[in-house]
Amino acid sequence: MAFEDGPYIKVACFCESVIEGKDGVLSLIRIIDTLTSTASGPEAPDSMPPLDVNFKLVVMSVSGLARGRHELRLLPELPSGIREHDHAFNASIHFEGEGKGANVLVDYGYQFEQEGLYWFHLLLDEQLWSKIPFYVRYNRITTGTRS
């Protein structure tokens, strides 16, 4: 295993908001791993229209034996298996060793263009560290008559 001596992930998720207390403790509000897009009306499209979402990316980790600055990358993978390199996010993360934590909190926006299971790959120094699953559903409701 590439990270058997650290760093270790405590939390990797998307949520609606984060509150950071004066003592540095984080409270994650509305952790999100599934969204449902609904279109209704006589002309409701067969396929899901693009869905713009803004949320917080939260990665909480513990250093273990890791020290120094490392590059964190978030790489989306579509339900089709295609990885979207042009929508990747990069950030630096600094590890101080032992049990000291390092947190990354980022405002992250993404446009979901199809329904299904997305995977957000977390790469540390270009090695797979973990993946965050995110499921998008589409509900189509037709009402009335089409003209």
* pLDDT tens, residue by residue, 33-49: 999 999 888 888 989 99
Q: What is the mean pLDDT of residues 90-118?
A: 93
| Cα–Cα dist 30/138, whole Å | 20
Confidence band of 111 (pLDDT split at 50, 70, 90): very high
Paired tokens of 129: 């560290």
Rounded to whole angstroms, the Cα distance separating 93 from 6 reads 13
Query: For the chain, which domains are there?
Result: 8-141 (2.60.40.10)
Q: Is the pLDDT of residue 114 over 90?
A: yes
Output the pTM of the full model: 0.90
Let me know: does 16 contact 105? Beta carbons within 8 Å. Answer: no
